[in-house]
Chain A
C-alpha cells in the first residue's frame, strides 16, 4: 500500500460545484501539504499544516480551503469550482521533528472542471 494515498485519482465536475480531495498517510508524519501542478508553471503550494491545530496558507490559497481531521488526514476543498482550477493536485508529508526533513508525495488527483 502507498504511504501517501490520494482520493479520488481522477475527477471531472462542473463549474460551481463543491469538491473535496482527500489525502491520508501511513508514514506517521506531522506535516502535510497540498500543491497543484500546471503545465509550464511547476508545482505551487496551496496550504500546509504542521499539526492538527496548525493550518497555514501557501502561495496560491485563494479559492481553496483545507481541513486537518487527524494527524493522518488532510483534505482540500474547492467551495465553488472554476475552470482555471483544472490541474493536478498533490498531497505531500514530512516529519516535523527536524527542520530539514524532505517531503514525500502521493500520486495525485487529476481534476477537470468544465
Chain B
C-alpha cells in the first residue's frame, strides 16, 4: 500500500461548481500537508500549506486536514476553466526529516 493515495481522475465538472479533491495517507508521522497545482509543462505551484487538523481558507480555496482519519481535502469554490490542472497532495514528517511524499495527482477539468 502506498503511503499516500490520490485518485488520478480525470475529474470533470462544470464551471462554477464546487470541486472536492482528496488524499488519504497511512503514515501517522506526517505532520505538514500541502496542495500543489501543476499546469502542463510547468512545475508544481504551492497552493495551500497546513499543519494542524482543521480548515484553512485562502480565497476560493479551502484545505481541510483530519489527522484522526488520515484524510486531507482541497475544496475549490466557484471553479473556473483556469483551474483546470493536475492537483497534487504532498506531506512530510517533522523532526528534521525532509523531502515530500506526494500523491499521484488528480487531473481536474473545468468545463466552460
Which residue numbers of A lie inside 8 Å of B, CB to CB? Answer: 4, 31, 33, 35, 40-45, 48, 50, 56, 58-59, 90, 99-100, 102-108, 110
CB-based contact B98/A41 at 8 Å: no
CB-based contact B99/A48 at 8 Å: yes
User: Which of B44-52, B53-61, B69-77 is the interface stretch?
Assistant: B44-52
Question: From DSSP, what is the main secondary structure of chain B's interface residues?
Answer: loop
* Min distance, Cβ A68 to any Cβ of chain B, angstroms: 14
CB-based contact A104/B98 at 8 Å: no
The interface residues of chain A lying within 8 Å CB-to-CB of B31 are 100
7 shortest interchain CB distances as A-B pairs: A105-B43, A45-B99, A42-B104, A42-B102, A43-B102, A107-B43, A102-B49
* Min distance, Cβ A110 to any Cβ of chain B, angstroms: 8
Report which of B43, B96, B99, B103 forms a contact with A58, defined as CB distance below 8 A.
B99
Give complex CA distance A50, B98 in Å.
9
